[in-house]
Structure 1
Amino acid sequence: MLSRNDLLIYAVIGIVAFCTFANSLGNDFVYDDTRQVLRNPMIQRSELYGTALTSDVWAFKGGGDVAASNYFRPTFVAWMIVNWKLFGSAAWGWHLTNILLHMAVCLLLFVFLRRMRCERFTAAAIAISFAVHPVHVENVAWISGVTDPLMSLFLFTSLILAQKYAEARSSMNRAIVFLILSVVTYLLAIGAKEVALFCAPLYWLIFRNTELEEKRSNASAVKTALLYLVAAVAFFIVRIRVLGALMIPVDDPVLGNHAFLSIPKIFLFYLRQIFFPISLGPAHPIRAADVGIIDVVIPVIVSALVLWILWILARRTEIQTFGLALFVLTLLPVMNPATFSNEQLVHDRYLYLPLAGMLIVVVPAIANWLGKKDFASRRLVAGTVFGIVVLALAAKSIAYNGVWSDGETLWRHAVAIDPGASHAWQNLAATTSNKQESLEASDRALQIRPSPGAAVAKARALIALGKFEEAVTAAKDAIASDPAQINAFSLFQAYEAQAFALVRLGRLDEAETSLRSARERLPIYHAALTEKLAVVLYTQNRKPETLAELEAVRDKARNEYLNDSKTVFLRLGMLYAEQGRKNDAKAALEEYLSSTADVQDAALVGERRQATELLRRVSSK
């Protein structure tokens, strides 16, 4: 039964965690949220749920048959589906569940530590420090950053169930239930984020501790822990089948010796963020290392020294040993620069669980040191210092929450932190409300590193400024990119921008040629591109050909994931109404409204209003 002190600590941890991130409730959808949530039909349409749960996270950008990313995360996708059902496009609801999830992780961390016989106030200090740390802002205040807290929720639940199994083996039936639930929740953790694949050895530590207490052989702990390793391997095999590859190459990767030499530098960055979280942002000026004293030699020496100190501390108690294992195992996957682009080698959000591990090593060491000091006011001094540290961390988190309030604020902050990040300037170009600034930002992105995405951003900025001739040139640059350097959706956007600019210039034949070429290169967007081609043909008064093109892609429009594809039915409804084909017009318009009913994309609001009004007029005749 819980004591009053434990209940009080639970309340304090929960309240502190909630209050630290409460001001993020007013934040909007930013960065990946706009695509991953607002324009993701796979979490919005119930008939696509099965495909969503068995595809990579970004499958909605393509046709669903080819992986668009390295992320197979069914638990995360399920989380998004539930949130969409509950809140739709109301951002506050998504932010609320992020905060509540973080609260739950903080409480589970405390429960786990207490079950590991960590002293009550030491466990509370760890959980509270974890709750308020500003490196968590990216995980909590950013909707799409929830993967780490979601993974942590199931991982700590699984570890607690593993503890229960180890303690209940005298009642085998009851113990087996705990073991099965533990393995299942471990799989859910892996399904939230692949980092959990590396956490199987943690279970051996849990079981080993019990074996040592009961003076049993370590062999039993190894055998039981192997179940988790088997589960991890099974998930990994499924992941390869879903993605169709072990790893999909990233844009602008770190290659050769530079990747290996960069590891100490990256490690020191993460240590700095844990102990001195002053500079926070979605981009950091950390690039691949070159051979030299500053980039390699000093980081190697300091990293070795830190790891040696951590090892000395971790050997003192079982809980600290576990903490070091948690820190290393969850940081290890993000220490491979070859799997990241050069501009995005590090992110604050990757420290969500490693931070817990570090705190589990360091806080008990500090508590043990203080316990050996003999002065009357040591508790008062320790409590005061701890309070000041927590308040400072919480204040930093609260202030940084505001940076994630909207896209423009976020990327202004990013380019201030890392002015050499091309992707940050590109995102600023896409989010700023200042048209001229958008053009300047896209130019800056191209100057730093020419990329198809930056060229598309420039084309869009030029269109907004009415500079259509220049927009055509920028779009052509993107289209002419090396196919290995441009993803399908960016290529679609490039063709779309080029066609729009050509239409505005009155060069309809060129627009038609461009869109027909696009359909050949991008069969996964055939219907979406046909809708744009139909507009060009209609503008040329080629109505029979327009109708034939649209009618030929009705089945493709039903199956493609892009919302643009559904506009085929709106165009058909408009053409049928113009020809007096009342029943056909009604059917097409109703199908358009039905297929976009769950989609809450601002870009579709005007089209749906137009379709509703036209349907009303057609029905009243």
Structure 2
Amino acid sequence: MFRDQISQRSLTIVAVCVFLAAITWLVFGQTLGHGFVDYDDPQYVYDNLEVTSGLSLHGITWAFTHSYYNNWHPLTWLTHMLDWELYEGKPGGHHFTNVLLHTVGVLLLFLVVAQMTGALWRSAFVAAIFAIHPLHVESVAWIAERKDVLSGVFFMLTLGAYIRYVHRQTLGRYAVVWILFACGLMCKPMLVTLPFVLLLLDYWPLNRIRNERLEVGSRRLGVSSQSPSGSYGEPRWSLVRHLILEKVPLLALCVVSSVITLLAQGDAIVSISRLPFWWRLNNAFLSYVVYVRQMLWPFGLVPFYTYPKTALPGWEVALSIVLLIGITAAVIALRRGHPYLVTGWFWYLGMLVPVIGVVQVGSQAHADRYTYLPQIGLYLALTWMIADLAKASRRQWILTAAATAVIAFLSWSAWIQGSYWRESEPLWKHTLAVTPNNEVAHNHLGKLFLEKGLIDEAIAHCQAAVNSLPNSPMFQADLGTALLRKGLTDEAILHFQKAMELEPNRTERAKVQSNMGNALLQKGLTDEAIVHFRQ
């Protein structure tokens, strides 16, 4: 009979894995027919000479010894090189790798959560939401965001290795955790928060901060996944100290990764003079709440969210702070009966810290891709809370129907969101439809129309971008290029001059000077043009 139960459980696990893979490919299979987009794909793939040279010893050396485009993620570069080796410039192959990696991450998440909690169906629902939530479309459908899905696989593998280590704490098993974590950091440094997630898992569901020894079995570790009210005691602080010290080798990796990241992203980190600290902090509070709203209502998603042009709405900031404090207080108050709320909520808060904007990289207010791993915490907390409430009411059919409806709704929404990523033009037109004054969308459309020879349309969009953000050297230079194509040389020169004044990067300034030289040549000012070409 025991063997029959094991066999039935194994069949259920296989069936769930097949279902999870099916819905993932149902939503994202369309991307195999998509092209590249002009948003980082050129720099990461088809215009990158190191990538288009394929996988080689030189390429491997370059990946590990260079930071490029303000990032050091050598394993991510190696996957792009391998893709080019396999598919060359065919975007469908590159998309296939993204979807495949995402599918592996989904299956690993299900297996890891099920192993920790013993709750198959709850774990399956968490993995299903992770698989098809529209917020994750950007991470999967965007080739240049390979680092999300690749780091996600190593994140899940690290969790799985950690569970094995918890079963039997040997140096060899800890070394596997350390190596997998190091690999994850070499895919995307945002994983520096993983040791904090492990501490949360020590709290629930592994229950390591109360018990020196864990129950070891084929079904579960630590406490029951049901966690009845009042059954979760207070932590033993001597064990907490031990568990923190246990993470020191992992924290050492975090320090090294953080230093490398700061050095690599030096040019991309926005200075306090451009974006004051209080503004960043207020935007961080707003972003935490915005991500929750987008999780619950995943519409109006775009690849770039701009900052308000004047000031952040004070009432929204205040409301966000009140909501965050209120939710945190409720989670702490309910911790004994519902410990999963602590793990889930602080997983979400903690994993977002590196990208919440206090240290601002780039000019976006927030980004869908940042939620790829952090929102797993919310999926866990909400799934367990709703399932516990439904169990108390003894109306399981309602829960099953609701879960089915949620999966169907999210699949439909994600499929539509994924369709916008088929090409650059529909992506940026959708962005403008959602955020009409989006200067990044205007500028990208301007360059697209310029490539198509639609000069007037290009000038209109480039001018709109400059009007929205006049201190952008890139926008000034692109408008100058469009005006030069129109034959408006004097106006083009004015914008090239402005771009050179604003551009802090020597390489980018040199490109503008080359355009300035071409404009001066058109006016017959050869000597002045030569000066700019030489510079």
TM superposition score normalised by structure 1? 0.74
> Is the 1:313–1:362 contact (alpha carbons within 8 Å) kept by the matching residues of 2?
no
Q: String of CA shifts for 1:439-474, please: whole Å, max 9, x gaps.
A: 111111111111210111112212333433433332
Whole-Å separation in 2 of the counterparts to 1:333 and 1:314: 26
Q: Does 1:36 align with 2:44?
A: yes
Unmatched tracts of structure 2, length 5 or more: 1-5, 215-237
User: What is the DSSP-based 3-state SS (H/G/I as helix, E as strand, rest coil) of the residue aligned with 1:344?
Assistant: coil
User: What is the DSSP-based 3-state SS (H/G/I as helix, E as strand, rest coil) of the residue aligned with 1:28?
Assistant: coil
**CA apart distance, 1:328:** 1.8
Q: String of CA shifts for 1:566-591, please: whole Å, max 9, x gaps.
A: xxxxxxxxxxxxxxxxxxxxxxxxxx
Q: How does 1:212-611 map to 2 (within 5 A)?
A: 212-215=210-213, 218=239, 219-240=241-262, 243=264, 248-249=269-270, 253-284=274-305, 286-287=307-308, 290=311, 293-312=314-333, 315-317=336-338, 319-341=340-362, 344-374=364-394, 378-432=395-449, 433=452, 434-450=454-470, 451-479=472-500, 481-482=501-502, 485-516=503-534, 518=535
> Is the 2:476–2:495 contact (alpha carbons within 8 Å) kept by the matching residues of 1?
yes
User: Which residue identity is paired with 1:441?
Assistant: H
Q: Does 1:183 align with 2:178?
A: yes
Whole-Å separation in 2 of the counterparts to 1:383 and 1:206: 27
Q: How does 1:186-197 map to 2 (within 5 A)?
A: 186-197=181-192
> Is the 1:456–1:474 contact (alpha carbons within 8 Å) kept by the matching residues of 2?
yes
Note closer, same or farther for the CA distance 1:435–1:118 as it changes in structure 2 (3 Å cut). Answer: farther
User: Which residue identity is paired with 1:468?
Assistant: T
Note closer, same or farther for the CA distance 1:496–1:402 as it changes in structure 2 (3 Å cut). Answer: farther
User: Which residue identity is paired with 2:505?
Assistant: N
> Is the 1:314–1:324 contact (alpha carbons within 8 Å) kept by the matching residues of 2?
no
> Is the 1:136–1:352 contact (alpha carbons within 8 Å) kept by the matching residues of 2?
yes
Q: How does 1:59-138 map to 2 (within 5 A)?
A: 69=70, 71-138=71-138
Note closer, same or farther for the CA distance 1:416–1:243 as it changes in structure 2 (3 Å cut). Answer: same
> Is the 2:513–2:532 contact (alpha carbons within 8 Å) kept by the matching residues of 1?
yes
**CA apart distance, 1:367:** 0.5
Query: Aligned residue for 1:20?
Result: 27
> Is the 1:163–1:207 contact (alpha carbons within 8 Å) kept by the matching residues of 2?
no
Q: String of CA shifts for 1:537-593, please: whole Å, max 9, x gaps.
A: xxxxxxxxxxxxxxxxxxxxxxxxxxxxxxxxxxxxxxxxxxxxxxxxxxxxxxxxx
Whole-Å separation in 2 of the counterparts to 1:5 and 1:392: 24
Whole-Å separation in 2 of the counterparts to 1:424 and 1:470: 23
Query: Aligned residue for 2:165?
Result: 165
Q: String of CA shifts for 1:41-70, please: whole Å, max 9, x gaps.
A: 222344343133222231xxxxxxxxxx2x
Whole-Å separation in 2 of the counterparts to 1:182 and 1:302: 36
Max Rg structure:
1
**CA apart distance, 1:134:** 0.2
Higher normalized helix content (fraction of residues): 1
Note closer, same or farther for the CA distance 1:144–1:207 as it changes in structure 2 (3 Å cut). Answer: same
Higher alpha-carbon deviation: 353-362 or 433-442? 433-442
Q: String of CA shifts for 1:140-176, please: whole Å, max 9, x gaps.
A: 111112222222211110111011011123xxxxx33
**CA apart distance, 1:476:** 2.5
Whole-Å separation in 2 of the counterparts to 1:244 and 1:280: 26
Q: Please, which of 59, 64, 72 is the counterpart of residue 53 of structure 1?
A: 64
Query: Aligned residue for 1:199?
Result: 194
User: What is the DSSP-based 3-state SS (H/G/I as helix, E as strand, rest coil) of the residue aligned with 1:57?
Assistant: coil
User: What is the DSSP-based 3-state SS (H/G/I as helix, E as strand, rest coil) of the residue aligned with 2:29?
Assistant: helix
Whole-Å separation in 1 of the counterparts to 2:349 and 2:180: 21
> Is the 2:189–2:261 contact (alpha carbons within 8 Å) kept by the matching residues of 1?
no
Whole-Å separation in 2 of the counterparts to 1:180 and 1:323: 27
Whole-Å separation in 2 of the counterparts to 1:98 and 1:471: 41
Whole-Å separation in 2 of the counterparts to 1:122 and 1:297: 35
Note closer, same or farther for the CA distance 1:385–1:248 as it changes in structure 2 (3 Å cut). Answer: closer
**CA apart distance, 1:102:** 0.8
> Is the 1:253–1:340 contact (alpha carbons within 8 Å) kept by the matching residues of 2?
no
Percent identity of equivalent pairs: 22
User: What is the DSSP-based 3-state SS (H/G/I as helix, E as strand, rest coil) of the residue aligned with 2:437?
Assistant: coil
Query: Aligned residue for 1:598?
Result: none
Note closer, same or farther for the CA distance 1:284–1:176 as it changes in structure 2 (3 Å cut). Answer: same
Note closer, same or farther for the CA distance 1:418–1:285 as it changes in structure 2 (3 Å cut). Answer: farther
Note closer, same or farther for the CA distance 1:401–1:251 as it changes in structure 2 (3 Å cut). Answer: farther
Report which structure shows greater RCO (CA 8 Å, sep ≥6): 2
Whole-Å separation in 1 of the counterparts to 2:28 and 2:333: 35
User: What is the DSSP-based 3-state SS (H/G/I as helix, E as strand, rest coil) of the residue aligned with 1:43?
Assistant: helix
**CA apart distance, 1:307:** 2.9
User: Which residue identity is paired with 1:339?
Assistant: Q
**CA apart distance, 1:298:** 1.9
Q: String of CA shifts for 1:19-43, please: whole Å, max 9, x gaps.
A: 1111111221111001221111222
Whole-Å separation in 2 of the counterparts to 1:264 and 1:206: 25
Q: String of CA shifts for 1:336-378, please: whole Å, max 9, x gaps.
A: 345145x51111111111221100111011001001113xxx3
> Is the 1:471–1:497 contact (alpha carbons within 8 Å) kept by the matching residues of 2?
no
Note closer, same or farther for the CA distance 1:418–1:87 as it changes in structure 2 (3 Å cut). Answer: same
Unmatched tracts of structure 1, length 5 or more: 59-68, 170-174, 519-621
> Is the 2:31–2:141 contact (alpha carbons within 8 Å) kept by the matching residues of 1?
yes
Note closer, same or farther for the CA distance 1:489–1:425 as it changes in structure 2 (3 Å cut). Answer: farther
Q: String of CA shifts for 1:76-120, please: whole Å, max 9, x gaps.
A: 222222222222211111100100111111111101101111411
Whole-Å separation in 2 of the counterparts to 1:210 and 1:299: 32
User: What is the DSSP-based 3-state SS (H/G/I as helix, E as strand, rest coil) of the residue aligned with 1:227?
Assistant: helix
Whole-Å separation in 1 of the counterparts to 2:267 and 2:475: 28
CA RMSD of aligned residues (A): 2.6
User: Which residue identity is paired with 2:499?
Assistant: A
User: Which residue identity is paired with 1:272?
Assistant: R
Q: Does 1:10 align with 2:17?
A: yes
Whole-Å separation in 2 of the counterparts to 1:314 and 1:146: 36
Whole-Å separation in 1 of the counterparts to 2:10 and 2:21: 17
Whole-Å separation in 1 of the counterparts to 2:318 and 2:309: 14
User: What is the DSSP-based 3-state SS (H/G/I as helix, E as strand, rest coil) of the residue aligned with 1:346?
Assistant: coil
Whole-Å separation in 1 of the counterparts to 2:309 and 2:469: 15
User: What is the DSSP-based 3-state SS (H/G/I as helix, E as strand, rest coil) of the residue aligned with 1:108?
Assistant: helix
Note closer, same or farther for the CA distance 1:57–1:270 as it changes in structure 2 (3 Å cut). Answer: same
**CA apart distance, 1:252:** 8.3
Whole-Å separation in 2 of the counterparts to 1:264 and 1:235: 26
Note closer, same or farther for the CA distance 1:34–1:313 as it changes in structure 2 (3 Å cut). Answer: farther
